[in-house]
Amino acid sequence: MSGSGLDPTFTSLPYRQLGDAALARARELGVTHADFRFERVRYQHLGVRDGVLQGASDREDLGFAVRVIHRGAWGFASGVVLTTDEAVRLADAAVAVALVAAEMTSSPVEIAPEPVYDDVTWISPYEVNPLEVPTADKAEVLIDWTNRLRTGAAVDHASASLEQVQENKYYADLAGTRTTQQRVRLHPAFEAMGAGADTFDSMASIAPPAGRGWEYLTDRSLYDWDDEIEQVPELLAEKLKAPSVQAGTYDLVIHPSNLWLTIHESIGHATELDRALGYEANYAGTSFATYDKLNTLQYGSGVMNVTGDRTVEHGLASIGYDDEGVETQSWDIVRDGVLVGYQLDRAMGHMKPELNGGRSNGCAYADSPGHIPIQRMANVSLQPAQDGPSTEELISRVERGIYVVGDKSWSIDMQRFNFQFTGQRFYTITDGELVGQVRDVAYQATTTDFWNSMEAVGGPETWVLGGAFNCGKAQPGQVASVSHGCPTSLFRNVRILNTNDEAGH
Amino acid sequence: MSTQSPSASLVMTPQSLVDHGVATSTADDCIVIVRNSTSANLRWANNTLTTNGVMHAVSVTVISFIRSSEGVSTGSVSGSASSQAQVTALVEAADAAARAGSPAEDANDLVTGDAAADWDEAPGATDIHVYDAFAPALGEAFGHASGAGRVLYGFVNHEVVTTYLGSTTGLRLRHVQPTGHYACTGKTADLTQSAWVGGATRDFSDVDALAIEQTVAQRLGWGSRRVDLPAGRYDTILPPTAVADLMIDAYWYAGARVAHEGQSVYSKRGVGTRIGDRIAKPGVNLFSDPSYPGLACAPFVTASASGNESSVFDNGLPLGRTDWIRDGELTSLLQTRHSAAMTQQPVTPMVDNLVLDVDGGRGSVDDLVAGTERGLLLTCLWYIRAVDEQTLLLTGLTRDGVYLVENGEITGAVNNYRFNESPVDLLNRFSHASATVPSFSREWGDDYFSRTATPALRIPDFNMSSVSQAM
């Protein structure tokens, strides 16, 4: 199947009948809102180690859910038996849950209004669905990658993996919206491992996951896998011989393959309104970017402009309509360094009607038919400077610094103040020139200090759409995919740790 | 927890789904794993219920095995399924994947056996009524908190997963695993102080919402005196929940193959593992045991895919007590039969619980506090990630309560910190240990690993790398 239409093996499923039955029952029970979501999510994982296919597994989540607002409380029930009797039973169960919850609900739930979309379809742009490519062909590519990596003298072992997802959703609600959607994403990855005299280390691909099809691995204009596989063994060899960094304060030039993750943690999560209002306090945490700081918080320097976007082509969080039937949008989160927007779902939109014209900006998402839609992250991206500098120009502005490429370890506190990141490789910059790699580097900062220390963002030619498959949030826990675009950027006076020193070694 | 079917409309029993799958496969061998799961949860924030739900899922995994002169190839396909037709589709896909596959490096004989005595029993189940006593008390706790200027945020979840595993070699195994946990974060109305109480349960009969609220209130009271302290190395008491946070990482990074190939803290330089080396203080014991009281878990292997620490060929392999560290010595790493042959060590697969026990450990957190002249008492840790595999250096943060201990008493609340530490190092550096008690990892307990028992540990020089402003 190519990206030309909805998958007929999904459209042949009885979601319309089930949805009609569930919503009719919910209406009978007198709910103020009901929505029905039917999903089929197909996954395939391939793992290769040292030229041998270690494991291949396919998984498919298929089921449906009924969500209601009844007597001012949410109720939710999900199941997997595809009968109208079960759809009716789940509507009953969702209402029963709402009745239990209503006894303890002091703030009645209401949701922001949204136009009705009557039977609309949205399909993400891709050419070849990776799940339709023979598994043996895909395994052959990964095996070839690890074999080629292992030809490097410094490489003792090599691994590769490929995650693929096809997500189909049907949504219907009592207001009359019905949406049917399909999207595809994939995450190819590889890593080479080696040992030096008294150390071992690894070097991983910096290729981002993408909302694309199998063409991502075959079209060199989309990503040049061959070039990176050729470079990684030498990069690892250099890393194994590199000196350990001297802890201290350095200027940093950060490549998009690393900066996307810093954006994700320190801007993406911090500007989720549910967190800012306390609705994630027990688990994922709250945010320093509280609502009273809207339009006043100097989040970063004047060159900082960040957008939320669920419409960008090939974004992992891109879709036509969210899991509450809201048409997706693009909007400003930080403009000229100042906090100006948040990510919203319909409940949050109702709480803060002064935002986005009283409408959700389309950030509701559930990762499976068995989970409740919650406010999840849009593609949150740092904008480049038109006519901005190249990466080389940014490096040339640094007298004593470090150039950071690729992501590795990441951690941030529950209000998104204090973070610490590592990377794949770090190059010393001396007098505007790259000198060579250093090891054992982590950078640590407070979010607003860090973004206010950003002196320059690169031009559009330095901008890359990075991202992740595995963003966790909520209770019960859910996983979401999200992209973050950014240019190479220059930061002044950032704290660098030596991880060996930190370990006491 | 009841033991009846979760849904009168379930089209087929789990046993019949297994039997149908095994009978339908045209592969040389086939394993079918059915997981029937029901769950119910309540979530709250700002002293009111938020999102709440009940879920039912039936997942079927079919693993097909095709033998040839070159070896055995496998195909593994999982999906939501409740009808014969859905299982048939999964079997056909798994058989086709196995036929198209290449020989598996972890090929082994499949486990043989008969039907277990409880094979014919129905799956366990739970529903919203598991909270019949808890929910009204929670509503009362909201009232107390609101009246006293406190704000509560929290989550309770209860699920019952019944696993049925059958194979063409005659094996028929069943396991019922109830898992529950509770957590409540409390804040003062001005949001400047935070406290947390959480734990694991099997059936919520032992969880008292009012008692939780009282404990949260007591801890917030400790914060009436605020003390700001800089980064540095502190005499620090890690309560059992924080020790669980760290030991789970020590366990998850204990893969034998990766260690053998020289890529972990458990590797010898050159090649091989550190099994047999002393890696912790004498008297330190880290082990898993499927029959450990209160932490019972599956006594056999289930694996839907092969990887460094799992092998589909090992499905059904019996699990028993496994010592990972005994008297300070590394005794085992996470092994499949494949990695065990590679490393020339016993087969010791992962078990779904973990116990840290220190010889001579006695008393409680309160006793460690009473014996501390000046130090810090943590509540729990958060956002823990590996920084360096060679040392298993972890970074993360304190959360929801760091308290100053002076002359054996808690005298105030301290700011939060980022830490950089290795759990393996900590097992060499602690100065005092309490008795081992059931614990619950704040970081990993909710979704991944809730069956832990750990002591509190006092670390004389815990590395607080920087101050976190989070409250």
Query: How high is the pLDDT of residue B11?
Result: 58
Query: How high is the pLDDT of residue B303?
Result: 97
* pLDDT of B8 strictly over 50: no
Question: For the segment A17-65, what is each residue's pLDDT rounded down to a tens digit?
Answer: 999 999 999 999 999 999 999 999 999 999 999 999 998 999 999 999 9
Q: Whose structure tokens read 């001297």? A: A246
Chain A partners within 8 Å of B382 (Cβ): 285, 413-414
A450 three-class SS: helix
* pLDDT band with cut points at 50, 70 and 90 for residue A377: very high
> From CA A359, how far away is CA B471, in angstroms rounded?
31
* pLDDT band with cut points at 50, 70 and 90 for residue B2: very low
Query: How high is the pLDDT of residue B7?
Result: 40
Q: Measured between alpha carbons, how far is residue B202 from residues B41, B53, B58, B126, B296 in Å?
A: 14, 18, 21, 11, 10
A201 three-class SS: strand
**Cα dihedral A241, A245, A251, A257 in deg (nearest 10):** 50
* pLDDT of A1 strictly over 60: no
Size of interface A-B (CB pairs under 8 A): 286
Domains and CATH numbers, chain A: 8-240 (3.30.2290.10), 248-498 (no CATH)
ipTM score = 0.95
User: Residue type for A443, please?
Assistant: Y
* Spatial CB neighbours of B69, under 8 Å, sequence gap ≥ 6: none
Chain B partners within 8 Å of A45 (Cβ): 305
Query: How high is the pLDDT of residue A303?
Result: 98
Query: How high is the pLDDT of residue B10?
Result: 46
> From CA B280, how far away is CA B285, in angstroms rounded?
9
Average confidence (pLDDT) over B361-378: 98
Question: For the segment A473-503, what is each residue's pLDDT rounded down to a tens digit?
Answer: 999 999 999 999 999 999 999 999 999 999 8
* pLDDT of B207 strictly over 70: yes
User: What is the phi/psi pair of residue B403, to 5°?
Assistant: -120, 145
Which helix (H) or strand (E) segment holds residue A395: the answer is helix A391-396
Chain B partners within 8 Å of A346 (Cβ): none
* pLDDT of B1 strictly over 70: no
* Spatial CB neighbours of B101, under 8 Å, sequence gap ≥ 6: A53, A56, A135, A136, A139, B66, B73, B74, B75
Report yes or no: B228 and B278 within 8 Å, Cβ to Cβ: no
Average confidence (pLDDT) over A8-17: 97
CA distance A14 to chain B (A): 14
| Prediction pTM value | 0.96
Q: How many residues does chain B have?
A: 471
Cβ-in-10-Å burial (0-12, 13-18, 19+) of A310 comes to buried
> From CA A64, how far away is CA A495, in angstroms rounded?
48
* pLDDT of B460 strictly over 80: yes
Q: How many residues does chain A have?
A: 505
User: What is the phi/psi pair of residue A450, to 5°?
Assistant: -65, -50
Record: contact B385-A75, CB cut-off 8 A: no
Report yes or no: B303 and B310 within 8 Å, Cβ to Cβ: yes
Average confidence (pLDDT) over B134-145: 95
**Largest CA-CA distance found in chain A, in angstroms, rounded:** 74
Average confidence (pLDDT) over A370-391: 97
Query: How high is the pLDDT of residue B5?
Result: 36
Record: contact B53-A78, CB cut-off 8 A: yes
Average confidence (pLDDT) over A375-398: 98
Decide if B308 touches A, using CB distance below 8 A: yes
Average confidence (pLDDT) over B373-389: 97
* Secondary structure of chain B as H, E, C letters: CECCCCCCCCCCCHHHHHHHHHHHCCCCEEEEEEEEEEEEEEEEECCEECCCEEEEEEEEEEEEEEEECCEEEEEEEEEECCCHHHHHHHHHHHHHHHHHCCCCCCCCCCCCCCECCCCCCCCCECCHHHHCCHHHHHHHHHHHHHHCCEEEEEEEEEEEEEEEEEECCCCEEEEEEEEEEEEEEEEECCCCCEEEEEEEECCCCCCCHHHHHHHHHHHHHHCCCEECCCCEEEEEEECHHHHHHHHHHHHHCCEHHHHHCCCCCCECCCCCECCCCECCCCCEEEEECCCCCCCCCCCECCCCCCCCCCCHHHCCCECCCEEEEECCEECCCECCHHHHHHHCCCCCCCCCCEEEEECCCCCCHHHHHHCCCEEEEEEEEEEEEEEECCCCEEEEEEEEEEEEEECCEEEEEECEEEEEECHHHHHHHCCEECCCEEECCCCCCCCCCCCEEECCEEEEEEEEEEEECCC
CA distance A323 to chain B (A): 15
Each domain of chain B, given as residue ranges in start order, spans 6-215, 225-471
Q: What b/e readout covers B429-453, taking b as 16+ CB neighbours within 10 angstroms?
A: bbebbbbbbbbbbbbbbbbebbbbb
Average confidence (pLDDT) over B225-248: 98
Question: For the segment B383-421, what is each residue's pLDDT rounded down to a tens digit?
Answer: 999 999 999 999 999 999 999 999 999 999 999 999 999
Nearest Cβ partner for B470 among A107, A417, A442: A417
Record: contact B101-A80, CB cut-off 8 A: no
* pLDDT band with cut points at 50, 70 and 90 for residue B4: very low
* Secondary structure of A106-156 as H, E, C letters: CCCCCCCCCCCCCCEEEECCCCECHHHCCHHHHHHHHHHHHHHHCCCCCCC
Record: contact A97-B54, CB cut-off 8 A: yes
| Domain B6-215 CATH class label | alpha beta
Query: How high is the pLDDT of residue A3?
Result: 57
Average confidence (pLDDT) over A141-159: 97
Question: For the segment B249-272, what is each residue's pLDDT rounded down to a tens digit?
Answer: 999 999 999 999 999 999 998 779
